[in-house]
Structure 1
Amino acid sequence: MSAEDAMRIHDSKHADAIELFFNGRRFTARAGESVAAALFASGVKALRVSPRLREARGMFCLMGSCQECLVMVDGRRVLACQTPVSEGLRIETVQETGADV
């Protein structure tokens, strides 16, 4: 089983397939997954770009401590690892303005 496959909820009897969008691209997720898990399972590894070094940032701790999975949902900054997916959810990359710490 691949790392991406391990992140996916497979029991379709208990988790409906839903549609979400990341930077305008359509993805499929399973109800109950976090935004981070759903995007990672769909092959998305980078959620934003660091402001100073312009390097890709994505999932790291997956428990809300590191802030690396910061995204915009409905105009609010949220952590992708702490945000559950929902039907039609529109997720955007955060436009960074500060410097890397």
Structure 2
Amino acid sequence: MSEIVIDGEPLPFVEGQTLAAALVAAGRVAWRTTRVRHRPRGVFCGIGVCFDCLVRIDGVGGQRACLVQAAEGMTVTTEEYDDE
């Protein structure tokens, strides 16, 4: 099984899984919060229409986890908004 790094922690994934699928398979159903009320968000539509599953991949923010296929050695950071 291959691994990606999520927020500094290794996470195994199955070849062909998207980042969202790997996160949900590991029990993480939310990985960011909304800007105003800090409500948890994760995968919602699963087809790239909404923007609930945003993550930072290898330093590039605003990536939809449901559209990006997990790849060995990928570094993912979950995105949290702050009010500043």
User: When the two structures are superposed, what TM-score results if normalisation uses the length of structure 2?
Assistant: 0.90
Provide the aligned C-alpha RMSD in A: 1.4
Cα separation, 1, equivalents of 2:15 and 2:67: 14
Q: Which runs of 5+ in 2 are unaligned?
A: none
Whose radius of gyration is greater, 1 or 2?
1
2:12 alignment counterpart: 28
Aligned mate of 2:72, from 56, 71, 87: 87
Larger RCO (alpha carbons 8 Å, 6+ apart): 2
Q: What is the number of equivalent residue pairs in this alignment?
A: 82
Q: Which runs of 5+ in 1 are unaligned?
A: 1-16
User: Equivalent residue of 2:5, what SS?
Assistant: strand
Tell me by how many angstroms 1:74 deviates.
1.3
2:43 alignment counterpart: 59
User: When the two structures are superposed, what TM-score results if normalisation uses the length of structure 1?
Assistant: 0.75
Higher helix share: 1
